[in-house]
Structure 1
Amino acid sequence: MAKTDFKSVDEYQDTFGSEKKERLAAIRNAIRETAPDAEEVISYQIPAYKHFGFLIYYSAATNHISLSYPYSEALLAEFKTELSGYKMSKSALQLPDKDPLPLDLIKRIVAYRMKENELAAASKPQKAKKK
């Protein structure tokens, strides 16, 4: 993947071969189904989705696809059992190319992140409107 100035998710995904591109598209569709109003952006040169802040990122690597999202202790506790079968770093969950994508898990993580972001936004003090 030589190009590194992506302007859209399509442009990012088009740089990969058909099998990886299909997996990326499946993740994109799962996110869009769960968060249809989320803004699709490129951030750090990878696909990202925003809904009251960043929800989730994803990116392709040689042998896996990484899902990155702002971890919270609550999220990790909620999905502890399901996440235990995957390799995780401080910032990403690795989905091996040899395994089927856990699309239901991805949808539930996105829904959970949406609720976290909505609650965080609702708890922020509202700025006074100028008269």
Structure 2
Amino acid sequence: MGTVEDYLGGLRPEQAHALRRVVELARGLAPDAEEGTSYGMPALLVGGRPLIGVTAAARHLSLFPFSPAVVAAVAPDLEGFSLSKGTIRFTPEAPLPDAVVEQVVRLRRAELGA
């Protein structure tokens, strides 16, 4: 797997658009983030450590903050979304709210000490 942009370029347009929005918001708050991979998925890295990862599946998109604590912190703002310990799932038709994505990135950066 290549960079985040390479990955997004291989998706259906509606999937790419929704995930690109997440990545753009993250880059706005973490301009020092570099594209790479973590746990086999496209990710933004800060200081070589994963900030967020994104993937597309057949029926949903996923944001991985690589932190159960971050997912738990934003869970109250994600009623109706599918969550697991380390994943936030959404669809192009029901994208993540910008404020939640921004909070995920802020919290994760704080965990990384960035």
More strand by share: 2
Match of 1:19 among 9, 14, 35: 14
| 2:60 is the counterpart of 1:64 | yes
1:60 deviates by: 0.8
- More displaced, 106-115 or 50-59? 50-59
1:77 deviates by: 4.7
Q: Deviations over 1:5-28 (max 9, x none)?
A: x22222211111211111121111
Q: What letter matches 1:66 in structure 2? A: S
Structure 1-normalised TM-score? 0.74
* Deviating 4+ runs (over 6 angstroms): none
Structure 2-normalised TM-score? 0.83
Q: How many residues get paired?
A: 113
Q: Deviations over 1:37-83 (max 9, x none)?
A: 1122123442212224221111111222101122244x345323113
Q: Using the alignment, how far apart are the partners of 2:38 and 2:26 within structure 1? A: 16
Gaps of 5+ in 2: none
| 2:49 is the counterpart of 1:91 | no
8 Å CA contact retained: 1:67, 1:92: yes
Q: Secondary structure at the match of 2:109?
A: helix
Aligned to 1:112: 107
Gaps of 5+ in 1: 1-5, 120-131
| 2:4 is the counterpart of 1:9 | yes
Match of 1:41 among 27, 36, 45: 36
Aligned to 1:127: none
Q: Using the alignment, how far apart are the partners of 1:80 and 1:98 within structure 2? A: 19
CA distance change for structure 1 residues 101 and 88 in 2, over 3 Å: closer, same or farther? closer
